[in-house]
């Protein structure tokens, strides 16, 4: 879809507002071109002595009334038109947000956060201006131009009009050249602003790391360079946009000179009155706005086209995860991975190879293995953050793709190793999964996650703001707040994806005991625990050992110890390490 198709569709949906604005603009343009004609008639009446004082006052009154009417009509069409164009900005930003919220992991691996933020700000603003300011100036300028030219040709003298219009083809040629340059410069400006935005986002997100490494000056220098590039690109775009004005000025100056020459000749030979020449000169002055409007419209449209060229591919890009599920119920029953093999895009080696395992309701599955073994990939498949081309994941009697994504993910409470906390209070972050939860329920969940005592030591307790991404909390506190958030709902599956890595072993033991007690009360609630520390999966009903994306061992804790392979050696090592720390 092109920008013009987008605007056409939008204007068709909001035709009432655009028609109302167009009607007001037509009335404004009509009265605007009538004013010079009445002024010319007044001058001729005064010269000929046919206009007395009373008639003069009446004419001045009409001119005043038309001026007042023009003022209020201009206010009216602005309210109608800009209300509609702002709605387009809202729609574009909403579409972008909804599209991004549905995209999978592969999409975000190829995109920059700052660039996506720029699409929702600068680029959406440019398209909004094309629907508002450009539509306004285009219609108003075209209408005024047509009426003024018509009055010059038919209402004054066609010979003088032809002479005055001779320089205009040169202006059209200049506009064509300038418009191409404005498009290129606008696209470059938007892209450089996007890079600047991305740098700001990354710098603020990693400011503690930059300080720890003493890279503040280097980061500031990079920012200064990007800011200079963005300013230079913006200046280039503005310079080309400013080139419209000299083209208009030169054209109108040449047209004015021809008007005086030809008009003076016609007046000298008695073929035109002074009043008619005055009217024509005023009409020529009224062409200033349509000419400037043409340059303005072209500038705004080229900016809009450049912005839409960046935004449209994101809005129209295929979802990396298709949501075509039709089942109305929440998933339930046994979860089964059936001969799953998966490779990430661009990777020749499988991240998972022939994975088969099942988790019955109320049971716990432990997944362990060295870094890069494929543990988290299993969870991403279950959450449908990625899709497999080989094998199938089942939940109950249905493949998980048969469930709508909302239903599937509602049935799962997933706590990642690096949980995300919002810039809200501790209580609000815990209650995120269940906004209607009472304070008592929030405290109960925090107690189960062994973070209640920590929260009470905060300055405002549960009402303490955690800062952006939970910056005021330690890693272990963030993990436990996220676990409390997961425990506040009764989803049939709880996933802890190395979510206890930042807590000490005593706290880990308390949390796991609380989880075991909770699962005994909720017989149908299953759990998947991924951990580098084997102590976290000791009580699991079944344990998988992954290495290089393959299941190398599986069984209960005792069975794996008896097998005396990687799990057993890792267990002995971690137990020795724990005893040394205790000593």
448-495: per-residue pLDDT in tens?
888 888 889 888 888 888 877 777 788 888 888 888 888 888 788 888
What is the band of 582 on the pLDDT scale with cuts at 50, 70, 90? low
- Percent pLDDT > 70 in the chain is 96
The burial of 286, by beta-carbon neighbours within 10 Å (0-12 exposed, 13-18 middle, 19 or more buried), is given as: buried
List the end-to-end C-alpha distance of the chain, in Å, as a whole number: 69
**What does the pLDDT read at residue 401?**
87
Q: What count of other Cβ atoms lies within 10 Å of the Cβ of residue 508?
A: 20
Query: What is the Cα–Cα distance from 45 to 157, expressed in whole angstroms?
Result: 19
Structural tokens at position 322:
């298709």
Q: pLDDT digit string (tens) for 331-346?
A: 888 999 999 998 887 7
Q: At what angle do helices 288-316 and 216-242 cross, to 10 degrees?
A: 140
Burial letters 534-544, b for 16+ CB under 10 A, else e: bbbbeebbbbb
Do the beta carbons of residue 212 and residue 141 sit within 8 Å?
Answer: no
Secondary structure tally for the chain: helices H, strands E: 23, 10
- Burial label for 380, CB within 10 Å (0-12, 13-18, 19+), is buried
What class is the 417-490 domain? alpha beta
Q: Which of 379, 369, 364, 367 is nearest to 540 (CA)?
A: 364
pLDDT, residue 48, reads 66
What is the Cα–Cα distance from 27 to 278, expressed in whole angstroms? Answer: 23
Q: Report which of 488, 486, 479, 484 is spatially closest to residue 533, judged by C-alpha positions.
A: 479
Sign of CA dihedral 391, 397, 398, 404: negative
User: Model confidence over 401-419: pLDDT tens digits?
Assistant: 888 888 888 888 888 888 8
What single DSSP character describes residue 341? Answer: E
Q: Span 3-316: which CATH code?
A: 1.20.1560.10
Q: What is the DSSP code (8-state) at residue 52? A: -
In this predicted structure, what is the pLDDT of residue 512?
84
pLDDT of residue 175: 78
pLDDT at 522 exceeding the cut of 70: no
In 3D, which of 85, 80, 88, 83 has the Cα closest to residue 27? 80
Please state the CATH superfamily assignment of the domain spanning residues 330-411+493-583 in this structure.
Answer: P-loop containing nucleotide triphosphate hydrolases (3.40.50.300)
How far, CA to CA in Å, does 3 sit from each of 291, 294, 323, 560, 570? 23, 18, 28, 62, 60
Alpha carbon distance 278, 283 (integer Å): 9
Round to whole Å and give the CA distance between 116 and 96. Answer: 9
Check residue 155 and give its pLDDT.
Answer: 66
What are the structural domain ranges in the chain?
3-316, 330-411+493-583, 417-490
* 374 pLDDT higher than 90: no
Enumerate the β-bridge partners of residue 529.
366, 496
Does residue 286 come out as left (phi exceeding 0), alpha (psi in the -120 to 50 range) or beta?
alpha
Q: What angle do CA 490, 486, 406 make, to 5 degrees?
A: 70
**Fold match flag (3-316 vs 330-411+493-583):** no
Quote the pLDDT of residue 368: 92
Report pLDDT for 525. Answer: 82
Is-above-0.75 flag for pTM? no
Q: Which of 81-90, 118-127, 376-385, 461-470 has the lowest mean pLDDT?
A: 81-90
């Amino acid at each position: 879809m092109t920008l013009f198709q987008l605007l056409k569709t939008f204007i068709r949906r909001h035709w009432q507002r655009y028609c109302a604005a167009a009607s007001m603009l037509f009335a404004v343009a009509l009265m605007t071109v009538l004013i010079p004609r009445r002024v010319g008639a007044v001058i001729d009446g005064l010269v000929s002595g046919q206009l007395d004082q009373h008639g003069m006052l009446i004419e001045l009154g009409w001119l005043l009334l038309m001026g007042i009417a023009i003022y209020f009509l201009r206010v009216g069409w602005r309210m109608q038109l800009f209300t509609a164009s702002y709605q387009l900005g809202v729609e574009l930003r909403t579409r972008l947000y909804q599209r991004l919220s549905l995209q999978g992991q592969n999409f975000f691996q190829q995109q920059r956060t700052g660039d996506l933020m720029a699409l929702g700000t600068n680029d959406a603003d440019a398209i909004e201006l094309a629907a508002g300011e450009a539509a306004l100036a285009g219609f108003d300028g075209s209408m005024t131009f047509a009426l003024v030219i018509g009055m010059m040709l038919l209402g004054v003298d066609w010979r003088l009009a032809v002479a005055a219009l001779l320089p205009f083809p040169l202006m059209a040629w200049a506009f064509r050249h300038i418009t191409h340059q404005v498009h290129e410069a606008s696209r470059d400006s938007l892209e450089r602003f996007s890079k600047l935005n991305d740098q700001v986002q990354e710098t603020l997100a990693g400011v503690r790391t930059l300080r720890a490494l003493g890279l503040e000056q280097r980061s500031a220098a990079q920012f200064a360079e990007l800011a200079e590039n963005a300013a230079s690109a913006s200046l280039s775009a503005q310079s080309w946009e400013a080139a419209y004005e000299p083209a208009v000025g030169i054209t109108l100056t040449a047209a004015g000179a021809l008007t005086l020459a030809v008009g003076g000749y016609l007046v000298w030979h008695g073929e035109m009155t002074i009043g008619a020449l005055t009217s024509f000169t005023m009409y020529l002055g009224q062409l200033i706005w349509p000419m400037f409007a043409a340059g303005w419209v072209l500038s705004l449209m080229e900016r809009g086209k450049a912005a839409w060229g960046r935004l449209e591919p994101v809005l129209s890009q295929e979802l990396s995860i298709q949501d075509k599920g039709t089942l109305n119920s929440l998933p339930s029953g046994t979860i089964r991975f059936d001969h799953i093999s998966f490779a990430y895009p661009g990777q020749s080696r499988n991240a998972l190879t022939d994975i088969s395992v099942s988790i019955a309701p109320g049971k716990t599955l432990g997944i362990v293995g060295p870094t890069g073994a494929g543990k988290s990939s299993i969870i991403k498949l279950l959450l449908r953050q990625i899709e497999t081309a080989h094998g199938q994941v089942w939940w109950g009697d249905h493949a998980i793709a048969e469930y709508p994504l909302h239903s599937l993910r509602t049935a799962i409470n997933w706590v990642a190793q690096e949980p995300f906390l919002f810039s809200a209070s501790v209580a609000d972050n815990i209650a995120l999964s269940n906004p209607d939860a009472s304070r008592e329920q929030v405290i109960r969940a925090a107690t189960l996650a062994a973070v209640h005592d920590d929260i009470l030591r905060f300055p405002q307790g549960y009402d303490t703001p955690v800062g952006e991404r939970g910056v005021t909390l330690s890693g272990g506190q963030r993990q436990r707040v996220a676990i409390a958030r997961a425990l506040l709902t009764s989803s049939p599956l709880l996933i802890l994806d190395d979510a206890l890595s930042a807590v000490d072993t005593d706290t880990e033991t308390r949390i796991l005991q609380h989880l075991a007690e909770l699962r005994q009360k909720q017989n149908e609630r299953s759990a998947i625990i991924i951990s580098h520390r084997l102590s976290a999966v000791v009580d699991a009903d079944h344990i998988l050992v992954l290495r290089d994306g393959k299941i190398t061992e599986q069984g209960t804790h005792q069975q794996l110890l008896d097998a005396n392979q990687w799990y057993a050696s890792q267990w002995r090592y971690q137990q020795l390490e724990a005893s040394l720390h205790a000593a």
